[in-house]
């Protein structure tokens, strides 16, 4: 598939920097039967629902891809605030359903969603199943902890070297908390998530913000799936929530822990490209899948 109009060139390394010829070869060898075997599962960021990924999902579906965008239970108000493990169980059920049908699944985790993605894939890699399986993890500014660390641990700079001391304290103001849930004002979400959008649009996007179980951010990772499954990391260079230097430290964590090179692709984007730059997410998805990228992405 040809390249999207409007997407800026990106720097990359690893297999993300493969020549267009090799991608073309992969694309041309992919029959309709091969396409039928592929699926994408998207796991949202904290404080966020599936609707924020619908532009990307709808576009991929229009090309025949099966796409599932999960809703993390940790954004639902329940008598017991859901945990990271509840989110992982929920996502795993969707992935298992696809794998049972022989699907080759790419699991996409955005920010906190990367914690869920790496936690939920135990026993579902292509090496673990006879047909199909999780072929790749794609982290969009994904939080990468080591086993025993929580998302908040990783955001506090415990994930690896290179993060200036005290940076985590200034990354994001503390949320208001009540009954086991945290939430942010519309103004705060607009200011940190949607920095590339005009202020009025950013406020509209932020109107759909959700609460988040604080327990989910405190639960330690017990399974680092990135140790066993190849990873592509989409670095958002203009992210005000998880700055580029922090994202790059997460890449270092994954590489040091897994012993594998991460495919890294940079995009000039704020924290929520699925809303403000969906063509960039689609470009990265196609690159991660080893395909030529889409010819044009026109999102009115």
- Assess if residue 186 is contained within a domain: no
pLDDT band at 34 (very low <50, low <70, confident <90, very high): low
Q: DSSP 3-state assignment of 153?
A: helix
- Inform me whether the pLDDT recorded for 14 exceeds 90: no
- Assess if residue 185 is contained within a domain: no
Question: In whole angstroms, what is the distance from residue 224 CA to residue 222 CA?
Answer: 7
The number of distinct structural domains making up the chain is 1
Average pLDDT score over residue span 249-260: 97
pLDDT band at 111 (very low <50, low <70, confident <90, very high): very high
Question: In whole angstroms, what is the distance from residue 116 CA to residue 70 CA?
Answer: 11
Sequential DSSP letters for 65-83: -EEEE---GGGS--SS---
- Inform me whether the pLDDT recorded for 285 exceeds 70: yes
- Assess if residue 69 is contained within a domain: yes
pLDDT band at 104 (very low <50, low <70, confident <90, very high): very high
pLDDT band at 283 (very low <50, low <70, confident <90, very high): very high
- Assess if residue 90 is contained within a domain: yes
Residue with tokens 């790419």: 106
- Assess if residue 209 is contained within a domain: no
- Inform me whether the pLDDT recorded for 11 exceeds 70: no
CATH value at residue 150 = 3.40.50.1820
Which residues form the domain of 35?
12-172+214-288
Residue of 117, 82, 86, 74 whose CA lies nearest to 210: 74
Do residues 212 and 178 touch, judged by C-beta distance below 8 A?
Answer: no
Maximum Cα–Cα distance for the chain, whole Å? Answer: 54
Residue of 44, 77, 92 whose CA lies nearest to 281: 44
- Assess if residue 295 is contained within a domain: no
- Assess if residue 48 is contained within a domain: yes
Do residues 109 and 139 touch, judged by C-beta distance below 8 A?
Answer: yes
51-83 burial, b if ≥16 CB within 10 A, otherwise e? ebbbbbbebbeeeebbbbbbbbbbbeeeeebbb
Which tens digits make up the pLDDT trace of 174-224?
556 777 888 888 998 999 999 999 999 999 999 988 999 999 999 999 999
Characterise 66 by phi-psi region: left (phi > 0), alpha (psi -120 to 50), beta (else). beta
- Assess if residue 126 is contained within a domain: yes
């Amino acid at each position: 598939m040809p390249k999207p109009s409007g997407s800026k060139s990106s720097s990359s390394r690893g297999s993300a920097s493969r020549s267009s010829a090799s991608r073309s070869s992969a694309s041309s060898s992919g029959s309709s039967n091969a396409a039928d075997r592929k699926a994408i599962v998207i796991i949202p960021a904290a404080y966020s629902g599936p609707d924020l990924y619908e532009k990307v999902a709808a576009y991929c579906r229009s090309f025949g891809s099966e796409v599932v965008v999960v809703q993390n239970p940790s954004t639902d108000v329940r008598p017991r605030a859901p945990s990271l493990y509840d989110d992982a169980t929920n996502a795993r059920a969707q992935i298992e359903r696809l794998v049972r049908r022989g699907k080759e699944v790419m699991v996409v985790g955005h920010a906190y969603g990367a914690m869920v993605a790496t936690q939920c894939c135990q026993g579902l890699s292509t090496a673990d199943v006879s047909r199909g399986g999780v072929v790749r993890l794609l982290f969009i500014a994904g939080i990468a902890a080591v086993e025993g660390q929580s998302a908040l641990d990783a955001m506090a700079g415990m994930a690896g070297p290179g993060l200036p001391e005290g940076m985590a304290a200034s990354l994001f103001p503390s949320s208001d908390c009540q009954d086991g849930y945290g939430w942010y004002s519309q103004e705060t979400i607009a200011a940190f998530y949607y920095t590339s959008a005009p202020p009025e649009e950013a406020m509209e996007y932020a109107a759909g913000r959700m609460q988040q179980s604080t327990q989910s951010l405190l639960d330690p990772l017990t399974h680092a799936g990135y140790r066993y499954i190849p990873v592509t990391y989409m670095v958002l260079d203009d992210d005000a929530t998880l700055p580029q230097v922090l994202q790059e430290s997460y890449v270092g964590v994954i590489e040091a822990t897994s012993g594998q090179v991460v495919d890294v692709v940079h995009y000039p984007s704020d924290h929520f490209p699925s809303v403000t730059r969906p063509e960039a997410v689609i470009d990265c998805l196609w690159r991660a899948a080893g395909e030529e990228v889409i010819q044009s992405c026109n999102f009115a």
